[in-house]
Amino acid sequence: MIRKHITEQTAIFFSVTKWVILSSFVGILIGAIVTLFLKILHIAESSRADLPFNYYYLLPLALFMTVWIVRTFAPHAEGHGTEKVIEAIHKRNGQIDIAVIPVKLFATVLTIFSGGSVGKEGPSAQIGAGAASWLSDILKFSTEDRKKLVICGISAGFAAVFGTPIAGAIFGVEVLIIGVILYDVLLPSFIAGFAAFTTAQFLGVEYTYFDIHFYQSISLDLPLILQVVIAGLFFGFISDIVVTSISLISKVIKKIPLHPYIIAFLGGMLLVILTLIFGEIYLGLGLETIKDTLSHDPYFSKDIPWYAFLLKILFTSITLGAGGSGGIITPIFYIGATSGHLFGELIGNAHIELFAALGFVSVLAGATNTPIAATIMAVELFGLEIAHYAALSAVISFLITGHRSLFPSQILAMKKSEMLEVKVGEEVEKTEVDLEDIEIDKIKDIRERIKKRKEQLKEKKLRQRKGGVTKK
């Protein structure tokens, strides 16, 4: 008995030591690569002022070049990054072409520089996963160890780009399977996230954290809790609109019988026209608009139109559908923050920035099925005071969004309502949802009762008319 116990503890000790060393090294490597990416991106955005014309006029040419670069050198670098990593883990045992790293980096910088409405986190996750896969090839890892290391790459990339090491680690293990957290990868993901975040900070990356000046003035604020519940429902519907719109517009664009290069050029032209009509605030990362919604001073957010989140959805959908390269999470933050700002104004709440912050994380929770990572991100970005409200809003949004996702390769391992018949274990895009047979029988029974009641009332009226009876 003692020998078995010692054997078990020794094996666990060596396993923990192995993954502490590996995940630390991977985190440092990815932190350095992501730092390079962020610094190049910053230089590119700063150089826009040197152009003799508005930078977004480059969109048609930039999207054309992006599509050519990706199709020519690394087809797996297409899209918004995170989805391709999830697909690689589930379908290719974590195998990612090393060419993805430089191609994704350059294509994303080109897209954002010209004003494409995409984010920087998807490429960071894909770059991190690509570096982890490459390291696995060098060390000749087993399939299981490769997948673990690639998941660490997702966590490290996410942590390094946003400065949220805990949320980044949780996101990496939560985003793969809806309803399941991969506990066996939790320690390596945490270490990789912290290592990447620390490395990026050491190399000069500066992160933005928000003080929304919110605190709970009394121990139990029931009206505010009710408002947060309603907000969670609202953000769930917003998440559904985001997922549906991006998927639908992408499918429509793919059905256009033109060469992808022509579609990319025309998509860029359409974005230029929309920008001339509605303004530049929907282009690029949109970080300034996000900061304005989270400001306690209403002066900064007074010029944000109520429909800002709808136009951001449109700009992002066209950019990605036309072949732009970049992430989807930063646009989600923009959509969530602006829709939360609108919600706060509609209900007349004194803490509008609170609802902008809740939208920031709740739309992420709903659209990507990661409520735990979203809640932790709220704490890391906005402070501990928001934790219980963020948890409530994020989980409600996650449930209301239904069995759909921005990442169609996610595996569904749970159903979000006992009233639904859902086949688990399949990719979200292949999941069929219907009412349970017992619920269908209940609905049929209710319909029969209503029909029968209507017939009884009709017969009663006929008898009254024939008998000349007057109703009192």
Percent of the chain with pLDDT over 90: 52
Residue 215: predicted pLDDT: 58
Rounded Cα–Cα distance for residues 249 and 318 (Å): 7
Please compute the mean of the pLDDT values over residues 453-468 and round it to a whole number. Answer: 72
Residue 2: predicted pLDDT: 81
Rounded Cα–Cα distance for residues 217 and 350 (Å): 13
Residue 444: predicted pLDDT: 57
Q: Residue 305: CB partners within 8 Å, gap ≥ 6? A: 311
Q: Which residue has the tokens 């017969």?
A: 459
Residue 217: predicted pLDDT: 55
pTM of the entire predicted model? 0.88
Q: Mean pLDDT over all residues of the chain?
A: 87
Nearest Cα neighbor of 79 from 66, 97, 65 is 66
Residue 434: predicted pLDDT: 61
Q: Which residue has the tokens 């897209």?
A: 111
Rounded Cα–Cα distance for residues 57 and 247 (Å): 26
Residue type, 456: Q
pLDDT tier for residue 472 given thresholds of 50, 70 and 90: very low
The more confident residue out of 85 and 240 is 240
Beta bridge mates, 163: none
Residue 77: predicted pLDDT: 73
Q: Residue 293: CB partners within 8 Å, gap ≥ 6? A: 301, 304, 337, 338, 340, 341, 353, 356
Query: Per residue, what are the HEC states of the chain?
Result: CHHHHHHHHHHHHHHHHHHHHHHHHHHHHHHHHHHHHHHHHHHHHHHHHHCCCCHHHHHHHHHHHHHHHHHHHCHHHCCCCHHHHHHHHHHCCCCCCCCHHHHHHHHHHHHHHCCCCCECHHHHHHHHHHHHHHHHHHHCCCHHHHHHHHHHHHHHHHHHHHCCHHHHHHHHHHCCEECCCCHHHHHHHHHHHHHHHHHHHHCCCCCCCCCCCCCCCCCCCHHHHHHHHHHHHHHHHHHHHHHHHHHHHHHHHHCCCCCHHHHHHHHHHHHHHHHHHHCHHHCCCCHHHHHHHCCCCCCCCCCCCCCHHHHHHHHHHHHHHCCCCCECHHHHHHHHHHHHHHHHHHHCCCCHHHHHHHHHHHHHHHHHCCHHHHHHHHHHHHCHHHHHHHHHHHHHHHHHCCCCCCCCCCEECCCCCCCEEECCCCEHHHCCEEECHHHHHHHHHHHHHHHHHHHHHHHHHHHHHHHCCCCC
Most confident of 143-147, 182-186, 253-257, 357-361: 357-361
Positive or negative torsion for Cα 330, 335, 338, 343: negative
The more confident residue out of 122 and 186 is 186
Tell me which of 3.30.420.40, 1.10.10.10, 3.40.30.10, 1.10.3080.10 is the CATH number of domain 222-422: 1.10.3080.10
CA-based end-to-end distance of the chain: 88
In CATH terms, the fold of domain 2-202 is Clc chloride channel (1.10.3080)
Please compute the mean of the pLDDT values over residues 162-189 and round it to a whole number. Answer: 90
Residue 471: predicted pLDDT: 46
Percent of the chain with pLDDT over 70: 92
